[in-house]
Amino acid sequence: MRSLKTVGLLCMLAMALAAAFAGTASAAVEFLKNITGNTFTATSGKGRLEDTATKLAIKCEKDTASGTVLSGTTIETTVDFEQCDVAGLAAKSLGDANDTTAPKLGLILLTLKGELCEIKAKEAGIFFTLPAGGVHIEIPALTELQVVTGSVIGVVTPVNTPSKTGTITITKANITKCGGKAAGLTLEQNANKKPLAAEEETTEAVTFAKETEVMA
């Protein structure tokens, strides 16, 4: 009889653990509707990337972006950072032209992949990874090349609410972990092979072609 009771208790414990793990799995951060192929656009005001040691800053007046939802958890986006400078001197992605709307300033172009992740309970993030090899930004007036590498996390709003609009916010005090993955940016001045920790600051206003919902 004691053996039967023990078996019964073990079964109950196994069921409780299974329920707990099922609850954890269902809490994954993901898009809930109009997923694959849903497109979006985004805009922001002023943004900056700054190394935390020397305070060298790459500043841009605004950006525009467009992209596609690839799956329940991933997106791809192309971003055009406009009217960019370092200490008032045009800064632009290597090999690209200056910004035609402000010829004395630069245009930085890049393509990013992002993955939804959980920052904490009911708070969603998106983990952006820069291209392999980093983003190469030249300052023609100084014949210098800045190299930005790594990844960064943005806070996604709203969550658990169907909507066609939302925001992705990257603050100067960057969130460094999301969904168990660590993020961090570095800025290498004049390609000197001495990368310095960097922080980014921007807020993107996002508009989807079709209503979607981020579950968190």
**pLDDT one-digit tens code per residue, 160-209:** 999 999 999 998 776 889 999 999 999 999 888 899 999 999 999 999 99
State percent of the chain over pLDDT 90: 74
**pLDDT one-digit tens code per residue, 199-212:** 999 999 999 999 99
For residues 82 and 85, what is the distance between their CA atoms, to the nearest angstrom?
9
Q: The tokens 């206003």 sit on which residue?
A: 205
In CATH, what class is 29-215?
Answer: mainly beta
For residues 127 and 139, what is the distance between their CA atoms, to the nearest angstrom?
28
**pLDDT one-digit tens code per residue, 21-73:** 333 334 589 999 889 899 999 999 999 999 999 999 999 999 999 999 999 99
